[in-house]
Amino acid sequence: MDITPSDAYELFLKDPESFKTAAASPEDCLNAFRQASKLAKNILCVTVSVKLSTVYNVAQRAKELARTELPDVVIEVLDSRTATPAEGFVALAGARAAAEGKDLAEVVSAASEMRDKVGCVVLLDTIRHVYRSGRIPKIASQIGSILNIRPIFIVSEVVHFATAVRSRRHGIERILEIMRDKVGQRRVHVAVMHAYAQDEGERLKERVAAEFNCAELWLTEFSPVMGYACGTGTIGLAFYPED
Confidence of residue 137 (pLDDT cuts 50, 70, 90): very low
- Domains assigned to the chain: 26-115 (3.40.50.10440), 118-241 (3.30.1180.10)
Is 58's pLDDT higher than 90? yes
Is 107's pLDDT higher than 70? yes
158: closest CA among 58, 239, 53, 231? 53
For all residues of the chain together, what is the average pLDDT?
A: 89
Helix (H, G, I), strand (E, B) or coil at 50: coil
Phi, psi for residue 190 in degrees, rounded to 5: -135, 140
The pLDDT of residue 181: 97
Is 147's pLDDT higher than 50? no
Contact yes or no for 45/64 (Cβ under 8 A): no
What is the Cα–Cα distance from 18 to 222, expressed in whole angstroms? 19
Find the range with the poorest average confidence among 12-16, 33-37, 180-184: 12-16
Looking at per-residue pLDDT, the higher value among 30 and 128 belongs to 30
The pLDDT of residue 127: 65
Is 212's pLDDT higher than 80? yes
Average pLDDT over residues 90-111: 98
The pLDDT of residue 130: 55
The pLDDT of residue 158: 87
What is the Cα–Cα distance from 59 to 158, expressed in whole angstroms? 19
Most confident of 12-21, 143-152, 160-169, 171-180: 171-180
Contact yes or no for 192/176 (Cβ under 8 A): no
Looking at per-residue pLDDT, the higher value among 96 and 8 belongs to 96
The pLDDT of residue 201: 96
Average pLDDT over residues 218-226: 87
Is 13's pLDDT higher than 60? yes
155: closest CA among 40, 42, 54, 53? 53
Is 226's pLDDT higher than 80? no
Find the range with the poorest average confidence among 43-52, 78-87, 91-100, 148-157: 148-157
The pLDDT of residue 9: 84
